[in-house]
C-alpha cells in the first residue's frame, strides 16, 4: 500500500501500522482503560442523520470560519499533540507546513518535539500554544512569556490531564519516554529497521518546550513523572482566572465537558473552549464531545467560541458538529496517522481529502457557507417520526 492508495482514515491508519514499531503505533492508536470513550467518539456520529436541502442554487463554496479572532480557510484544525517527531522525523514541521497550505490552525504541545519559536517564525498560520498547568507557578508564567514573545496569538490550557490516563497498551509494550521497552516491545522495533534508521540519523529527539525544566535525556525523569510529579492536580478556577488575566488575549480551555464549566470559562474571561475528552485517552467512560455539544452551545454559544474534538474521521462528521453550533472541529489521529504513514505528503493528502469531503458534503447539503448549517439540518434517531 502506498500513499496514493490512502483514501480515508482507515487507509492511513493501516499504512501507519505497517511503518511504525507497534509500541509507537499503539501509543497513537490507544486510549484509556477499556477504550469505550475512544470508540464512542466516532460511533456517536451515527446516532444522527444529515437532512439535505435541495434546489438551493449552490454556487461558490465558502468553508471559512473565524475562531478566537483568527480566520481559518477550513473549519477543521490540527489539534496539538505530543511527541510528533517520534511518529515521523519531520514531526511538527510537516503538520505546520500542511496547516499553512490549507490555511488552518495548529500549534505545538508542551510535549512537542519542535520549538514553538521555530513554528511561529517559519510558518504563517493561526497558531496556538497548548500547555499544562504546573505546580511551579514560575514555570507557568515563564511558558506564557515565551509564547507571548514568540507572537503566538492563542493560549490553550488543557484541563483534562491533571494526571496521566491509564493506557494499558503502553503498559504492555513498555512505551514511555525515555524508552523502557519490554522484551516483546524491543522485538517490535527490531522488525521495523527503517523507523530505527530514520530515528538515529535525524536530529536528536528533544522536548524543546520543557528541556530547561525536565531532564528526560539522562533517564532521570520520564513523561509519566512529568504528569505525576510536575503537573498540579489542585489547579482550580482562581488559578486559571489569574492566568487568563495575565495573558490578556485569546485564551482557550481544552477539555471542557459540562455546561457549568463552560459558563465558568466565560465568567473568567476565556474566549474559547474545546469540548474534548482527549481522544478517549484520559477518563474512560467520559461522554463523547459530540454528544455534549448541543447543550453547551445552547448555554454559552453566543458568549464564547465553542470548538470540539474527538473521533472526527469524515467531512460529514465535521458538518454534523458544525450544524450543532461548533465553530470549528479539531483533528488528532486523523492527521497523526497520515504523518506517521508518509510525513509531510501524508498530512497534506489527509487535509486535502478532508477539505474535499467537506466541500462535497456542503454541496450535497445545499449549503454555500458554514453559517447555513443549523440544527435543522440534523435529526437524531430518537427524534425520528414514527411510521404507523
Ligand atoms: C498521540 C496523541 C498525543 C496527544 N497529545 C496531546 C497533548 O500533548 N496535549 C493535548 O492537549 N492533547 C493531546 N492529545 C489530544 C488531541 O489534542 C485531541 O484532543 C484528540 O486527539 C482528539 O481526538 P481524535 O484523535 O479522535 O481526533 C493527543 C492525542 C494523541 C492521539
Give the DSSP H or E segment for 49.
strand 48-50
C-alpha cell of residue 217: 535525556
pLDDT of residue 303: 98
C-alpha cell of residue 151: 507572537
Which atom, in ligand 1's list, is nearest to the CA of 27? 1
pLDDT of residue 221: 66
User: Which residue's CA is the nearest one to ligand 1's atom 27?
Assistant: 332
What is the rounded CA–CA span in Å between residue 348 and residue 129? 22
pTM above threshold 0.85: yes
311 lines ligand 1 (CB under 6 A): yes
Task: Sort strands 76-78 and 328-331 into parallel, antiparallel or unpaired.
Answer: parallel
What is the rounded CA–CA span in Å between residue 113 and residue 91? 7
Q: From the centroid of its chain, how far is CA 159?
A: 14
Q: Which of 88, 89, 134, 278 is catalytic?
A: 278
pLDDT of residue 212: 80
What is the sign, positive or negative, of the torsion defined by CA atoms of 88, 89, 95, 97?
negative
Query: Of 126, 108, 95, which is closest to residue 305 (Cα–Cα)?
Result: 126
| Long-range residue pairs from 43-47, CB within 8 A, at least 24 positions apart, any chain | 43/311, 44/288, 44/290, 44/291, 44/311, 45/290, 45/311, 45/314, 45/316, 45/317, 45/320, 47/380, 47/381, 47/382
Q: Which of 277, 278, 330 to mutate to test the pocket of ligand 1 (most atoms within 8 A of CB)?
A: 278
15 alpha carbon – ligand 1 mean position (Å): 20
pLDDT of residue 281: 97
Which atom, in ligand 1's list, is nearest to the CA of 310? 23
Query: Which residues face 305 on adjacent strands?
Result: 272
Task: Sort strands 272-275 and 250-256 into parallel, antiparallel or unpaired.
Answer: parallel
232 alpha carbon – ligand 1 mean position (Å): 20
Respond yes or no: is residue 381 known to be catalytic: no
What is the sign, positive or negative, of the torsion defined by CA atoms of 125, 123, 354, 290?
negative
Which atom, in ligand 1's list, is nearest to the CA of 274? 19
DSSP for 321-366? HHHTT-SEEEESHHHHHHHHHHHHHHHHHHHHHHHHHHHHHHHHHT
pLDDT of residue 326: 98
Return averaged pLDDT per consecutive 10 residues of the chain, 388 residues in all: 94 97 96 98 97 95 98 98 96 98 95 96 96 90 94 97 92 83 80 85 89 70 80 94 96 98 98 98 98 98 98 98 98 98 98 98 98 95 66
User: Which residue's CA is the nearest one to ligand 1's atom 20?
Assistant: 279
SS3 115: coil
Rg (alpha carbons) of the chain, rounded to whole number: 20
Amino acid at each position: 500500500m502506498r500513499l496514493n492508495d490512502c483514501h480515508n482514515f482507515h487507509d492511513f491508519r493501516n499504512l501507519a501500522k505497517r511503518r511504525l514499531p507497534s509500541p509507537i503505533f499503539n501509543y497513537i492508536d490507544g486510549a484509556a482503560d477499556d477504550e469505550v470513550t475512544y470508540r464512542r467518539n466516532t460511533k456517536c456520529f451515527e446516532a444522527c442523520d444529515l437532512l439535505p436541502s435541495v434546489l438551493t442554487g449552490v454556487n461558490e463554496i465558502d468553508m471559512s470560519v473565524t475562531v478566537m479572532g483568527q480566520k481559518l480557510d477550513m473549519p477543521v484544525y490540527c489539534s496539538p499533540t505530543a511527541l510528533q517527531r517520534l511518529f515521523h522525523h519531520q514531526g511538527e514541521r510537516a503538520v505546520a507546513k500542511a496547516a499553512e497550505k490549507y490555511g488552518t490552525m495548529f500549534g505545538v504541545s508542551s510535549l512537542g518535539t519542535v520549538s514553538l519559536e521555530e513554528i511561529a517564525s517559519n510558518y504563517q498560520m493561526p497558531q496556538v500554544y497548548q500547555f499544562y498547568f504546573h505546580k511551579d507557578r514560575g514555570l507557568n508564567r515563564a511558558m506564557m512569556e515565551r509564547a507571548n514573545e514568540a507572537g503566538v496569538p492563542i493560549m490553550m490550557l488543557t484541563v483534562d490531564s491533571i494526571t496521566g490516563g491509564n493506557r494499558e497498551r503502553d503498559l504492555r509494550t513498555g512505551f514511555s519516554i525515555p524508552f523502557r521497552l519490554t522484551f516483546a516491545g524491543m522485538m517490535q522495533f527490531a522488525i521495523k529497521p527503517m523507523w530505527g534508521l530514520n530515528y538515529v540519523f535525524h536530529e536528536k529527539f528533544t522536548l524543546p518546550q520543557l528541556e530547561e525544566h525536565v531532564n528526560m535525556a539522562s533517564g532521570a525523569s520520564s513523561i509519566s513523572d512529568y504528569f505525576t510529579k510536575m503537573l498540579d492536580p489542585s489547579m482550580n478556577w482562581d488559578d486559571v482566572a489569574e492566568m487568563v488575566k495575565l495573558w490578556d488575549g485569546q485564551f482557550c480551555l481544552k477539555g471542557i465537558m459540562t455546561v457549568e464549566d463552560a459558563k465558568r470559562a466565560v465568567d473568567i474571561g476565556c474566549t474559547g473552549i474545546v469540548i474534548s475528552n482527549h481522544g478517549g485517552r484520559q477518563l474512560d467512560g467520559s461522554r463523547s464531545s459530540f454528544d455534549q455539544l448541543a447543550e453547551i452551545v445552547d448555554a454559552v454559544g453566543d458568549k464564547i467560541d465553542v470548538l470540539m474534538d474527538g473521533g472526527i474521521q469524515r467531512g460529514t462528521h465535521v458538518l454534523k458538529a458544525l450544524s450543532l453550533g461548533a465553530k470549528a472541529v479539531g483533528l488528532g489521529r486523523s492527521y497523526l496517522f497520515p504523518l506517521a504513514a508518509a510525513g509531510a505528503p501524508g498530512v497534506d493528502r489527509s487535509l486535502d481529502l478532508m477539505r474535499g469531503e467537506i466541500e462535497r458534503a456542503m454541496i450535497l447539503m445545499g449549503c454555500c457557507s458554514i453559517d447555513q448549517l443549523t440544527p435543522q439540518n440534523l435529526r437524531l434517531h430518537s427524534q425520528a417520526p414514527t411510521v404507523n
